Amino acid sequence: MKQISLTQFLIEEQRAKGNIKPDLRLLIEVVARACKAISIAVGKGALGGVLGDAGTGNIQGEAQKKLDVLSNEILLEANEWGGHVAALASEEMDHSYPIQNEQCKGGYLLVFDPLDGSSNIDVNISVGTIFSVLKSPEGVAQPGDDAFLQPGTQQVAAGYTVYGPSTMLVLTVGSGVHAFTLDRELGSFVLTQRNMQIPEDTKEYSINASNARFWEPPVQRYITELQAGKEGPRERDFNMRWVASMVADVHRIITRGGIFMYPLDSKTKAQGGKLRLLYEANPMSMIVEQAGGAATTGRERILDLQPQKLHQRVPVIMGSKNEVERVTGYHK
């Protein structure tokens, strides 16, 4: 079977469907190259001297890992000279990062979480990179933070890379979800699955059960029903899976179905939720919806939310359509 590289796939999409402009294709390739460099750093682990805390904190007040900082730098440096983006925004930076050199400036905005699940790095559990592409507002010479405050429906591409036993890139440009696996010998991402689909029904759920006492009544009701198994109102057994790395948890759901939840609770209510709208919720919601799933806050569709600030947090419930609709219905 002939192998199809990421580059070939994007060119074929560009020719056949016209939904990828050349600049967007090149931008995705730059991000993919940066992810390969991050994959090498993650793979070296202690041998590369990249484990442990960096001794700094991000704007959310979280301690940064050395690999957080390194991954952020890799993505910034890769996109500074490419000529495809006007500005970048990262979960690890207080404000957006404008491209200063006019010759290296493009028409897109790149948003990313450079290393999702980084608390798992030191124990050798899968982590990943999440990214989202928006169009830079027309007529704005130097986009600032406000330029990024676009609803998720405005995304032109979204993807994530999971650094596990193999390194995988999962991507959507608005016409389905496709998976690419890094061939380390060739040094390129190769198409390994087209048109990934999330089953509408599932027997798996993913939630941080240690927060159970803080959940709102609709979520407590839903999880209690799942835990009751065959003897309960759902009349079947459910399994719980929790990696504490959104990339790993959602990748499992996209691969075989399930529901991922980080709902609103009394601990996170004051800040609006746990996960970041621009860096995590929006790109993952676009991918999940493109794969036939659903993504809500429990009260409304995530992609319809109008962001109010760069580091806004929101509740997240996403995955198999019928389960997401059920728990959202309990909120209503």
pLDDT tens digits along 14-69: 888 777 889 999 999 999 999 999 999 888 877 766 666 655 655 555 656 688 88
Q: Give the pLDDT of residue 192.
A: 97
Cβ neighbour number for residue 32 with a 10 Å cutoff: 22
Pick from 159, 185, 64: nearest CA to 121: 64
Q: Which residues are part of a known binding site for substrate? A: 116-119, 208, 274
pLDDT confidence band for 117 (50 / 70 / 90)? confident
CA 243 to chain centre: 15
- Distant-in-sequence, close-in-space partners of 2: CB < 8 Å, separation ≥ 6: none
Domain residue extents for the chain: 6-193, 204-331
**pTM of the predicted model as reported, rounded to 2 decimal places:** 0.94
pLDDT digits (tens, 9 = 90+) for 188-198: 999 999 999 99
Q: Which residues are part of a known binding site? A: 91, 113, 115-119, 208, 274, 280
Interatomic CA distance for residues 108 and 91, integer angstroms: 18
Task: Say if CB 125 and CB 117 are below 8 A apart.
Answer: yes
- Reported CATH class of domain 6-193: alpha beta
Q: Which residues are part of a known binding site for Mg(2+)? A: 91, 113, 115-116, 280
Q: Give the pLDDT of residue 119.
A: 78
CATH 3.40.190.80 holds for 204-331: yes
pLDDT confidence band for 103 (50 / 70 / 90)? confident
Pick from 21, 36, 122, 105: nearest CA to 75: 36
